[in-house]
A = this chain, B = another copy of it.
């Protein structure tokens, strides 16, 4: 079951703005309708704020793994990860993109933003 308590943070090494991106090709959850597993890539992109945190990589991996047995739709996964991470990191802005390998010949992508994401990242 998705568990945001797994997420750990550390303070940004500098106060000046900079961008962090983590891409995980190994995300899996379960389709709540069919019970079949879904597979995809999940991208996290954010700019830490001086008073917020940076996510620790191993904890991020464990957090993602906590979705493994969860029955949850594409749209809900993306927004839930966004919300959990915003709460933990309190970033200047943050973006979560999920890209799904597809079912029935259709592949999908969901993009959820928080805060003022720069225009260059609009396409995910």
Contact = CB atoms under 8 A, between A and B. Distances in A.
Nearest to A68: B37
Q: How many copies does the complex hold?
A: 10
Contacts of A110: 18-21
A65 B36 CA distance: 8
A37 to B, nearest CB: 6
Tier of interface size on chain A: 35 or more
A54 to B, nearest CB: 6
Contact of A79 (B14, B36, B113): B14
Interface of A: 12-14, 16-26, 28, 36-37, 39, 54, 57-58, 60-61, 65, 68, 73, 75-76, 78-79, 101-113, 118-124
